[in-house]
Amino acid sequence: MDKIARIDMGAAGGPKVTVGDLGEYAGLGGRAMTSLVVAAEVHPLAHPLGAENKLVISPGMLSGTTGSMTGRLSVGCKSPLTGTIKESNAGGQAAQVLARLGYAAVILEGKPVGDDLYKIIINKDGIQVIVDNSLKLMDNYPLVEKLRGEYGDKVAYMTIGSAGERKLLAASIACTDPELRPTRHCGRGGVGAVMGAKRVKAIIIDDAGMKMRPPKDPEKYRDANRKFVEGLRKHPVTGEGLPAYGTNVLTNVLNEAGGYPTYNFKDGQFPGSAKLSGEAQAQLEIDRGGTATHGCHRGCVIQCSGIYNDKDGHYLTKQPEYETVWSHGGHCGIDDLDTVAMLDFLDDNIGVDTIEMGVTIGVAMDAGVIEFGDKAGAIRLVEEVQQGTPLGRILGSGAAITGKVFGVERVPVVKDQALPAYDPRAVQGIGVTYATTTQGADHTAGYAIATNILKVGGDVDPLKTEGQIELSRNLQIATAAIDSTGMCLFIAFAIMDQPETFQALLDMLGSFHGITMTGDDVVALGKKVLSAERDFNTRAGFTKHHDRLPRFFYNEPVAPHNQTFMMKDEELDEVFNW
Amino acid sequence: MKHTIPEQSAVVPELETRGMHLATGQLKTFFPILQKGVMVPATVGCTLKSLLCDQLAIPTDYVTDRITTIFVNNRPVDDLEGTIIQDGSRVTLSAAMPGLVGATMRRGGYYAALRQGISHIVERGAATSQRGTIRLKLFNLLLAEIGPLILAHGLILEQDELIELLELSPVRAARPAAGSGRVLLTVICNE
Ligand code: SF4
């Protein structure tokens, strides 16, 4: 990964490709690359859908190697949903393939005049940008099917559906999985709308003729990777729980804890949760001839995903994740996995973030557009988004807009991005991260739970109140660093509990780049990324007053614990005080 | 056969008992009800550890290493010895969970502070031991692993619940007559 491609979509005479060296971005990948480029090069007051915004696509630092779990792809820009800096990442094959072609980043700049739609083909011979108006308003599944006819099955596709083309604020960018289904999405923050604004419908990435990226010390790298994989396999979460049930294994546990937001955050428990659980979902998938264990890219040893078939045993969608099952399920009072799976398919096909879409439907239900629990109604509303009706455009613009249009007071967003599946009144520490992250409410912003072993921020007494602020800060730093490596965040459990697995990860990074990597280096990287993101947001007009949860979390206690969110504003303001 | 729950059970003084044998492969019939929660006879007024290890016969090292997430009455538990089980307590057992919230819910975990306010508070003082019932739920990996122990210990079911279960069960056991009243069902899993 020794080059950056810049594609000026607005160049006179048509899109212009420039390939240059890494310059000041040398050594970066993933979120570190996207955030540092956006912070340095995008005007903080730029309109997110305008020519001044840039869409930065970057594989992780270890993507394209033989290393396991290294297939995350980061996409960054100024978000049209939040107005903040944004990094949104996904699995799928794209990161591995792009990295093997040597690109540390592909940056879409400018904006074409006119209505033409483009596809970009990246292969060993270079980059071509071609007008293809036959793709107009196609959704992801038929779009990829059509492109496969032309470019075959040995490539990776990144695409936007009709939502991205319509520049809806919930629009995602789809990356194909090993079976070439557009199931892995850079979902959060409306990154698909930015790609749509640049009039890019599809990126076809073909690594034919390319080899795996070679490590500086191949033997050490192989050995470290072997130890890393052993560590993942022997840990009960990464070796057993996630492969057996996927992330939806959390439904039962969150419901039991009273932290499962139900009926648009009116309750902390859902009576139908057992029907939506990961345990029920896995059994159903197996009974219908699908699978509950599947990797979203080659080289994943955890395999938290699965294949969800319909009643007749035909493929319907990939295994819906916990956040999706929650947003379209309990949040909307729906207790039927087939309905949730259909909504997951529709979201992937249209190209919208499943969290944003589900939360939005719940807000619309609260407004009385349809009743809570209305399964057919929920499907109908998402189909409105697909059809681009005025109501569909409102819903496809997310929960904050929908709440405003329908006069709903209880709108669960921070910086206009929908909250994920954990009620911050029950799990207060999560609320600290939701409120303060640079990205808008985002569960993965503080997901890298290995802070104890990373020694981020030194040793914290986790049983003290101040611990929550400290822990949130440390989690956000660690996550920013891991998001830069290309590693899937689900490795976090194994590296938290098993020092030798964490050491193996450091050795992978070190031996690949021919350096010695320590925990301190990881922390320094995380802080550098977060500082750049905070600085961008400040210049874009965000202040500490934006680092707050909506007022209803402070005013409305939620059952069964009857708690409100109790963290003080002054405490929240300490999170980034390092 | 009549089975008497000894001493002064506040809940069910006397129960009809039914036994069932099940091949291990058929165990999954019981997963949905174990996941939703079943009523289990127990000597209450004891510690959580005693309930799990002494009464339900779950090996101590399994409890320590594998059952890393426990809720009593919806509150995550950190201290097995300091948690007293009362008549009617709701006890939920899970293996380790993914993600930050999974780590947060973990017993005695590094991130326990993040759930401050809902954690189970240790109760000190003497408790009176008596017969009663608890509501027990098993999640995820524990369903297959300790489900057989719970089934062998016995579940208290309403007659209607039992009939519904037997309808789904691959075992052709004699159906009880529909009616009211509870049954103690013990299930032995054969290899
Ligand atoms: S663990 Fe899940 S999300 Fe992570 S790489 Fe594997 S399949 Fe993808």
Q: Report the residue among A296, A321, A447, A493 best suited for mutation to probe ligand 1: largest number of ligand atoms under 8 A from its CB.
A: A296
Classify residue A172: in a domain, yes or no: yes
Residues A336 and A441 in one domain: no
Residues A97 and A170 in one domain: yes
The residue of chain B with its CA nearest to that of A433 is: B114
Contacts of A182 (CB under 8 A, 6+ apart): A140, A141, A143, A144, A157, A159, A174, A175, A176, A348, A349, A351
Q: Which two tokens stand for residue A264?
A: 């648009």
Residues A69 and A127 in one domain: yes
Tell which atom from ligand 1 comes closest to the C-alpha of A300. 6
Tens place of pLDDT for every residue, chain A, 578 residues?
899 999 999 999 999 999 999 999 998 999 999 999 999 999 999 999 999 999 999 999 999 999 999 999 999 999 999 999 999 999 999 999 999 999 999 999 999 999 999 999 999 999 999 999 999 999 999 999 999 999 999 999 999 999 999 999 999 999 999 999 999 999 999 999 999 999 999 999 999 999 999 999 999 999 999 999 999 999 988 999 999 999 999 999 999 999 999 999 999 999 999 999 999 999 999 999 999 999 999 999 999 999 999 999 999 999 999 999 999 999 999 999 999 999 999 999 999 999 999 999 999 999 999 999 999 999 999 999 999 999 999 999 999 999 999 999 999 999 999 999 999 999 888 898 899 999 998 877 666 555 655 555 455 554 455 577 888 888 888 888 888 888 888 888 888 788 899 899 989 989 998 888 777 888 898 999 999 999 999 999 999 999 999 999 999 999 999 999 999 999 999 988 87
B170 versus A259: the higher-pLDDT residue is A259
Residues A264 and A385 in one domain: yes
For residue B190, what pLDDT band results from cuts at 50, 70 and 90? confident
B35 pLDDT above the threshold of 50: yes
Residues A440 and A396 in one domain: no
Residues A31 and A171 in one domain: yes
Nearest to A471 among B28, B105, B111 (CB): B111
Q: What is the pLDDT of residue A508?
A: 93
Q: What is the pLDDT of residue A448?
A: 58
A349 versus B191: the higher-pLDDT residue is A349
Q: What φ, ψ does residue A158 adopt, rounded to 5°?
A: -120, 125
Residues A9 and A133 in one domain: yes
Mark which of A146, A176, A205 sits at the end of a domain. A205
Q: Which two tokens stand for residue A498?
A: 């098993």
Residues A434 and A404 in one domain: no
Q: What is the pLDDT of residue B103?
A: 86
For residue B173, what pLDDT band results from cuts at 50, 70 and 90? low
Instruction: Determine whether the interchain pair A237/B98 forms a contact, defined as Cβ–Cβ distance below 8 Å.
Output: yes
Classify residue A62: in a domain, yes or no: yes
Query: What whole-number distance in Å separates Cα of residue A162 and Cα of residue A164?
Result: 6
Cβ atoms of residues A46 and A494 within 8 Å: no
A237 to each of A243, A494, B113, B124, how far by Cα in Å? 8, 8, 21, 33
Classify residue A239: in a domain, yes or no: no
- For A242, the 3-state DSSP assignment is helix
- As for how many domains chain A has, the answer is 3
Please indicate whether residue A488, judged by its CB atom, sits closer than 6 Å to ligand 1.
Answer: yes
Classify residue A235: in a domain, yes or no: no
A413/B contact by beta carbon, under 8 A: no
Tell which atom from ligand 1 comes closest to the C-alpha of A301. 6
Q: Which two tokens stand for residue A265?
A: 């955050």
**Average pLDDT in the B51-70 region?**
96
Query: What whole-number distance in Å separates Cα of residue A270 and Cα of residue A279?
Result: 16
Residue in B118, B121, B137, B145 to test binding to A, most A beta-carbons within 10 Å: B118
Instruction: Determine whether the interchain pair A280/B111 forms a contact, defined as Cβ–Cβ distance below 8 Å.
Output: no
pTM reported for the whole predicted model: 0.94
| Residue carrying structure tokens 């990226």 | A213
Strand order in the sheet with A126-131: A126-131, A118-123, A200-205, A156-159, A173-175, A184-186
Residues A326 and A438 in one domain: no
Q: What is the pLDDT of residue A255?
A: 96
Instruction: Determine whether the interchain pair A277/B35 forms a contact, defined as Cβ–Cβ distance below 8 Å.
Output: yes
Domain ranges of chain B: 16-190
User: Chain A residues with CB inside 8 Å of B115's CB?
Assistant: 257, 426-429
Maximum distance among all Cα pairs of chain A, rounded to whole angstroms: 63
**Nearest alpha carbon, ligand 1 atom 2:** A304
Q: Which residues of B touch A (CB under 8 A)?
A: 28, 31-32, 35-36, 66, 68-69, 71, 74, 76, 92, 94-105, 109-118, 137, 139-141, 143
Please indicate whether residue A296, judged by its CB atom, sits closer than 6 Å to ligand 1.
Answer: yes
| Secondary-structure breakdown of chain A: helix, strand, coil percentages, each rounded to the nearest 5 | 45, 15, 40
Query: What whole-number distance in Å separates Cα of residue A545 and Cα of residue B34?
Result: 46
Nearest to B101 among A422, A468, A561 (CB): A422
> Which CATH number does the domain housing residue A481 bear?
1.10.599.10
Contacts of B156 (CB under 8 A, 6+ apart): B12, B15, B38, B39, B40, B41, B133, B182, B183, B184, B185
Q: What is the pLDDT of residue A466?
A: 59
- For B50, the 3-state DSSP assignment is helix
For residue B112, what pLDDT band results from cuts at 50, 70 and 90? confident
Classify residue A211: in a domain, yes or no: no
What residue numbers bound the domain in which A310 lies? 254-412
Classify residue A407: in a domain, yes or no: yes
The residues facing B15 across adjacent strands are B3
Please indicate whether residue A300, judged by its CB atom, sits closer than 6 Å to ligand 1.
Answer: yes
Mark which of A412, A439, A462 sits at the end of a domain. A412
Question: What spacing in Å lies between the alpha carbon of A301 and ligand 1's midpoint?
Answer: 8
- For chain B, percent of residues with pLDDT exceeding 90: 51
Please indicate whether residue A302, judged by its CB atom, sits closer than 6 Å to ligand 1.
Answer: yes
Lowest mean pLDDT among A338-342, A410-414, B6-10, B85-89: B6-10
| Residue carrying structure tokens 């976090």 | A492
Classify residue A159: in a domain, yes or no: yes
Query: What whole-number distance in Å separates Cα of residue A358 and Cα of residue A340?
Result: 10
DSSP A89: E
Q: Which two tokens stand for residue A234?
A: 């022997």
Nearest to A283 among B28, B97, B141 (CB): B28
Query: What whole-number distance in Å separates Cα of residue A188 and Cα of residue A84?
Result: 12
> Which CATH number does the domain housing residue A283 bear?
1.10.569.10
A140 to each of A79, A183, A314, A345, how far by Cα in Å? 21, 9, 18, 10
Residues A527 and A446 in one domain: yes
User: Chain B residues with CB inside 8 Å of A449's CB?
Assistant: 99-100, 103, 110-111
Classify residue A290: in a domain, yes or no: yes
Q: How far apart are the first and last CA of chain A?
A: 32
Residues A197 and A267 in one domain: no
- For chain B, percent of residues with pLDDT exceeding 70: 85
- For A165, the 3-state DSSP assignment is helix
Please indicate whether residue A305, judged by its CB atom, sits closer than 6 Å to ligand 1.
Answer: yes
Contacts of A311 (CB under 8 A, 6+ apart): A288, A338
Cβ atoms of residues A328 and A364 within 8 Å: no
Residues A267 and A352 in one domain: yes
Q: Report the residue among A68, A293, A443, A490 best suited for mutation to probe ligand 1: largest number of ligand atoms under 8 A from its CB.
A: A490
Q: Chains A and B: how many Cβ contacts under 8 Å?
A: 150
Q: What is the pLDDT of residue B8?
A: 39
Q: Which of residues 77-136 of A touch B (CB under 8 A)?
A: none
Q: What is the pLDDT of residue B2?
A: 42
